[in-house]
Chains A and B, each alone.
Chain A
């Protein structure tokens, strides 16, 4: 697996790509989760490798959002083991979780923004909180806003955006840190077909750059379109467990 390791070499930070055979980016082993009542998810075994492209489907309330939250350490499993980049989430301290979230871009289903900042500032927020120089990335930011079709709304406040615009802004925010993994929860839920395809194209392009993509979606048409472009696999939640869906949907 290609993994970014930071080595302190002669006082300089040098990024080194190392290849670790067989390493998985997200690994769930015998994972169960319950919100307090009965188990919502049980005995889930899943391993997602680098550069893979997965869809996650299932009926509403099946636990898609819950499973994704387990995958970016917002929730800890009730039992079983979740490992991200080979690290058990249970042993991570809060700073490690913060660093992890810079390597995993997430589009949340209920895209949350800071309403007192502009859309552009919200999209750049991961850079800001990571202490990166936002001004130096201004052209990247502009390009990204163009990609998701929000150039005109850059200086608006998030409450002024439509549902679809919010989702596009959330996607832009998820990818601005150039993360190794992108997890999106219903990223096309409120978007028309053309814009959905545009976002899908963006995600496919990111996948071709080597990023691992995991998308929860109901949209079978979207999944079919994706499968014609990339080797996307479809996971389905059924009976509290995850199965690989049939090749043809």
Chain B
């Protein structure tokens, strides 16, 4: 409620408060440009964070749902061990389906490396069983032990080995995106502080007169805070819109694009960038307020 009242008092067309400080020159344009540019960058950092987050979730989810059992055994035992392994898998809770790949499918998997005419029959190629999980998944260690007992040549490969670094990379990218957002906010605060200090210094005579006729510090600070907040809001709104437009117009490369085309907003995520102008306004409000009270404190 308090914040709401503060914002309402800020937006009220209080011409008097706005006008006691003379209309500013370049600091106004500087603030609008800076917050616009920062908002534009923030949109991309946000898109990166959201997209990598999405990617990590998807990789995690997709890869976690499948596993492979590989059976390498002397030629005579392969079929028996495959059947044994399938029986074990059928009775394992958390596994929806399991299915041995047939020769054609194995051929298709190896084709990219060995060409279409590979005579699999003559080679000790292991049999592969595809395992699809359900619910909470299965107990990996328990399954490994049981497979070892029933089919000594069976090896469970649950993809965690190569999934983990991918997800770690995606998570790291998401963190970098968030760090970029924080840096953008800090840089905005720094630049608005500088602009506010310049405006306060340029208006020191005005501030002196206002103090002499009985203006309280909050009144004077408010005049500056109001200005810079509205400017940051306007600039950031423009920058955010431009950034969102740029992302909406990113060329689509279909499935092959993979990660690159994933860099966008999806569904409700389009609402996230709308927070950027509000945050920019809050950053400007706080930065100007601190700068104003500090420079007013140096005045008698």
Bound Cα distance A134, B19 (Å) = 14
Complex contact A94–B209 (CB within 8 A): no
Complex contact A98–B22 (CB within 8 A): no
Complex contact B300–A98 (CB within 8 A): no
Taking chain B's interface residues, is the majority helix, strand, or loop, or is none over half, making it mixed?
A: helix
Give chain B residues whose Cβ lies under 8 Å from the Cβ of A117: 19-20
Which residues 92-113 of A have a CB within 8 angstroms of B?
94-95, 98-102, 106, 108, 112-113
Q: Does any Cβ of A come within 8 Å of B161's Cβ?
A: no
Which residues 1-54 of B have a CB within 8 angstroms of A?
16, 19-20, 22-23
Give chain A residues whose Cβ lies under 8 Å from the Cβ of B23: 116
Complex contact B214–A101 (CB within 8 A): yes
CB-nearest residue of chain B relative to A94?
B217
As a 0/1 sequence over residues 204 to 239 of chain B, the CB contacts with chain A under 8 angstroms (1 = contact) are 011011111111110100000000000000000000
Complex contact A129–B210 (CB within 8 A): yes
Contact of A94 among B16, B205, B216 (CB under 8 A): B216
Q: Does any Cβ of B come within 8 Å of A63's Cβ?
A: no
Complex contact B214–A98 (CB within 8 A): yes
Q: Does any Cβ of B come within 8 Å of A50's Cβ?
A: no
- Kindly state the interface size class of chain B when it binds its partner: 20 to 34
Complex contact A75–B300 (CB within 8 A): yes
Bound Cα distance A76, B219 (Å) = 23
Complex contact B212–A108 (CB within 8 A): yes
CB of B67 to closest CB in A, whole Å: 71
Considering residues A95, A115, A129, A130, which has the most beta carbons from chain B within 10 angstroms of its beta carbon? A129
As a 0/1 sequence over residues 188 to 218 of chain B, the CB contacts with chain A under 8 angstroms (1 = contact) are 0000000000000000011011111111110
Considering residues B210, B215, B219, which has the most beta carbons from chain A within 10 angstroms of its beta carbon? B215
Contact of A95 among B208, B216, B297, B300 (CB under 8 A): B216
Contact of B209 among A113, A121, A131 (CB under 8 A): A113
Bound Cα distance A115, B19 (Å) = 12
Given A101-B211, A101-B214, A173-B213, 11 more contacts at CB 8 Å?
A95-B216, A102-B214, A106-B212, A117-B20, A125-B20, A126-B213, A126-B214, A129-B20, A129-B213, A129-B215, A129-B219
Q: List 9 A-B contacts (CB under 8 A).
A: A74-B300, A98-B215, A98-B217, A99-B216, A106-B212, A112-B208, A126-B213, A128-B16, A129-B215
Residues in chain B within 8 A of chain A (CB atoms) = 16, 19-20, 22-23, 205-206, 208-217, 219, 296-297, 300
Residues in chain A within 8 A of chain B (CB atoms) = 74-76, 94-95, 98-102, 106, 108, 112-117, 121, 125-126, 128-131, 134, 173, 177
* A-B CB proximity, top 3 nearest: A129-B215, A101-B214, A116-B22
